[in-house]
Amino acid sequence: MGAGSFVGATSGAIVVGGMVLAPVLAIGGVMRGVNQSKVNGVIKSRQTALPVNLVAGEEIALDMFFPIAPSPKTIELTYSDTDGEHRIVIDTSTALDGLHTVISAE
């Protein structure tokens, strides 16, 4: 009879734990979604709207955001002008060296 009481008490504890945990998980999920939405809003407000039209000799700064990429070595930009389409390859390996480090599981 002791084993039956233990199983009954354990089942009750699981149900009560589930009733407490479910709302906590739901609230956590909602908060995460709200935070991600705020971050996306800031990114959209700061990024440069493309395409950008420039006159000859004009220089502007661009705010660009890229998805997370582990250890990016280059960024390639494609643009076009009256002479056709061109590609610029920017070496980011020096500027981003050490940004993404390997963590050993020792």
pTM: 0.42
- Give the number of other Cβ atoms within 10 Å of residue 38's Cβ: 10
**Average pLDDT, integer, range 68-80:** 80
Residue 63 lies in a domain: yes
* Mean predicted confidence (pLDDT) in 83-88: 93
Q: Has residue 49 been placed in a domain?
A: yes
95 band by pLDDT with thresholds 50, 70 and 90: confident
Q: Which domain holds residue 10?
A: 2-91
Give 96's contacts (C-beta < 8 A, 6+ positions apart): 71, 72
Q: Hey, what are 8's tokens?
A: 């009954």
The values of phi and psi at residue 70, to 5°, are: -70, 125
Q: Within a domain: residue 76?
A: yes
Q: Which of 35, 87, 78, 44 is nearest to 63 (CA)?
A: 44
Q: Evaluate whether residue 51 is within a structural domain.
A: yes
Please state the domain count of the chain. Answer: 1
